[in-house]
Amino acid sequence: MSDPVDYVPFETTTAPAEAPGSGTPELERLYDVPVELAVEIGRTHMTIRETLALGPGSIVTLNRLAGEPVDLLVNGKPIARGEVVVIDEEFGLRVTEVVAGETAAAAEVEVPVEAPAEPAPVAPAVPAEA
């Protein structure tokens, strides 16, 4: 026979979720981890021929309109949107909107995937002679 097991209910062992940036000790260990921030003003698709033809004075059309918010990416993932500003002859970003987790995933630009090529016909196996 087995002995009854005493256990602490799961609800009493968990702490309530705290707001981000509240200084929880678990997150404080990550504060000094470097991440890459990038501001993306737009994207486009080009052929290699078009890319090789680029030179001084070439204009590349992007998928954004002038004045439209730009994306702030952390390690390639969108986390906020904002407007480009110039401060003392340097560019900056004024954050106007923080993108929520689910919205961030939807905000990522989808890359069209081409249908896979039709597989080449495979010759039937030749039976081995004994």
Residue 89 sits in a domain whose CATH number is: 2.30.330.10
Q: pLDDT tens-digit profile of 43-66?
A: 999 999 999 999 999 999 988 888
In a domain, 61, yes or no: yes
In a domain, 44, yes or no: yes
Q: How confident is the model at residue 73 (pLDDT cuts 50, 70, 90)?
A: very high
Domain that holds residue 40: 34-106
Domains: count for the chain? 1
In a domain, 71, yes or no: yes
Whether the model clears a pTM of 0.85, i.e. scores above it, the answer is: no
Structure tokens at 85: 């500003």
Residue 93 CB burial class (10 angstroms; 0-12, 13-18, ≥19): middle
In a domain, 50, yes or no: yes
Of 93, 44, 103, residue with least CA distance to 69: 93
In a domain, 1, yes or no: no
CA distance 68 to 39: 13
The percent of the chain in helix, strand and coil, each rounded to the nearest 5, is 15, 20, 60
